[in-house]
Structure 1
């Protein structure tokens, strides 16, 4: 008999809020290879800097609306008028530096694309190409995250320190950090 939603064992961080539980159960740690989706996730992780992920989750749809579906071609053309519009939007995290970083990130994404580089393949290549299955205490960063952070910064990305990058790697499924007792660990490992 399957466990009910209330009795499923989950990672501790996901149990405080129904939105966090849904994110944990449906998205977190599932390997994502789509370049645009990875770029969106990296940009959202940057907005989370200094805040709790639940804050970003609660505002994610407003972010998607404000950033035109996180379409890099559209975001790269944002002007000062768009920045002002976003800074006036109470539905998102209103940080000029993070908004400008996202616009710059879109331009970098498009430069890579124009040069024939696939953003998703580039990121996954740094992560070893397949999800790492870790066990034990969950680190806040790893040598891979440190290296990925350095390479992202070298490209011109902002808000991509090693801790943010490791959180991105976890969310994007580059590493399976579901707790050993979590009901999602084995399912995600099979992906």
Structure 2
């Protein structure tokens, strides 16, 4: 073989080797890039990331739901409820007792007027009528009172002393009233009285 031909062949071989190395380097680079890209965009990885993100969203949604549940709790009422004191009556108080007399055909009429203060209707009257010969009437009885003005209750109790009855002093004692709350007033301290002459 001539020197020229040998040189040409060696040159060609060197060129071929250089191309082969370049091609191999390029292939390795391409394969690495392809692997990196495939790994980054792997469906499994994407699905895993999606599930992870979904889980985070689920946790956040649960937290929001718990907060909303807490927010839905109605505020405590600040309105004051009615107390028993507002609906309970107070003890009545006698304000005035007066006694008048009138001549009638059957004898002498006694007119006892009673005034009491109460925030509940007064409906019971307790009296004791005494005469020269002892007790004539006594005890308590249901009685109608009229509200003359706000919380002031008034009634009139009458009794006719026959013109054939004994002459002498007639008087009332232990006068007190009771309201519908079953509360009683203190007895009236005085004893209204009158003297009747049937002689």
User: What TM-score bracket applies, with the shorter chain setting the length?
Assistant: under 0.3
Structure having the higher helix fraction is 1
Higher relative contact order (CA 8 A, sep 6+): 1
Q: Which entry has the higher C-alpha Rg, 1 or 2?
A: 2
